Amino acid sequence: MRILKNLSIAAMGFMVFLFGLDLFLQAAEIQTPLETTIDPEIGPAFIKGKNVTRFNEGFFIGEVNDMGYFGEERPYSLEPGQRRILLLGDSFVMGATVFARDHFASLLETRMAKEGPSEVQVLNFGRADFNLSNMYQYYEDFASRWDHDLVLYFVGYSDLVPSRQVEQDLYPACVVENDSLYIDYSFRNSARFHQYQLLAPIVSNSALVRMGFNAKKMVMRGELTEMMLGKFSGAILESKSHPDTEKSWPTTELPLLTRKILEKLAGDPRVVVVVKGELPPEMIQEVKAFGFPVWDLYSVLEEMNRQGVDPFYWEVTGKRGHWNHAAHVKIAEFLDQGLQNLHFLDP
Partner 1 sequence: MFFNSFVFFMFLGLVLPVYFLLRNQRSKALWLLAASYFFYGYWDWRFCSLLLLSTVVDFIIGKKVFQSEDPVTRKRLLWVSMAVNLGILGFFKYFNFFIGSVEAVSASLGLQVDSLHLNIILPVGISFYTFQTMSYTIDIYRRRLEPTDSLIDFALFVAFFPQLVAGPIERARNLLPQIAKLGNPGRAQVGSGLALMANGFFRKVLIGDTAGRIVDQVFSDPERYYSPELLAALVLFSIQIYADFSGYSHIARGLARLLGVDLMRNFEQPYLSANITEFWRRWHISLSSWLRDYLYITLGGNRLGNGRTYVNLMLTMLLGGLWHGANWTFVVWGGLHGIYLAVHKLYLGDRKIPDHFTYAGPVSLVRYLVAMGLTNLLVLLTWLFFRARDFGQAGYFLDRFIHWEGSDLTTRWTSITVAFLVVILALDIIEYRTGRHDYLASTVNRPLAWGIGMAVACGVFLYMATSTPLPFVYFQF
CA-CA distance, 243 to 304, in Å (whole number)? 26
| Residue 31-70 contact track with partner 1, rule CB under 8 A, x = bound | x-------------------x---x---x-x---------
CA-CA distance, 210 to 38, in Å (whole number)? 16
Least distance (Å) between residue 111 CB and partner 1: 18
Which residues within the stretch 130-189 sit at the binding site for partner 1 (CB under 8 A)? none
Of 134, 146, 147, 148, the residue nearest 183 (C-alpha): 134
Least distance (Å) between residue 268 CB and partner 1: 34
Binding partner 1 (rule: CB under 8 A), the pick from 74, 259, 264, 325 is: 325
Of 165, 98, 93, the residue nearest 123 (C-alpha): 93
Least distance (Å) between residue 302 CB and partner 1: 25
| 52 vs 152 by CB, closer to partner 1 | 52
CA-CA distance, 24 to 54, in Å (whole number)? 16
For 309-330, letters b (16+ CB in 10 Å) and e give: eebebbeeeeeeebbbbebbbb
CA-CA distance, 70 to 141, in Å (whole number)? 17
Residue 88 near residue 70, CB atoms below 8 Å? no
Least distance (Å) between residue 127 CB and partner 1: 21
Q: Which span sits near partner 1 by CB under 8 A: 6-14, 125-133, 180-188, 254-262?
A: 6-14
Least distance (Å) between residue 106 CB and partner 1: 12
Calculate helix-pair angle for 325-341, 104-115, nearest 10 degrees: 40
| 36 vs 317 by CB, closer to partner 1 | 317
Least distance (Å) between residue 254 CB and partner 1: 36
Binding partner 1 (rule: CB under 8 A), the pick from 18, 235, 289, 326 is: 18
Residues 6+ apart with CB under 8 A from 133: 162, 166, 173, 174, 257, 258, 261
| Residue 97-126 contact track with partner 1, rule CB under 8 A, x = bound | --x--x------------------------
Q: Residue 129: left (phi > 0), alpha (psi -120 to 50), or beta?
A: left
Which residues within the stretch 202-261 sit at the binding site for partner 1 (CB under 8 A)? 208, 211-212, 214-215, 218, 227-232
Residues contributing to the site for partner 1 (CB under 8 A): 5-7, 9-15, 17-18, 21, 24-25, 27-31, 51, 55, 59, 61, 99, 102, 208, 211-212, 214-215, 218, 227-232, 315-317, 319, 325
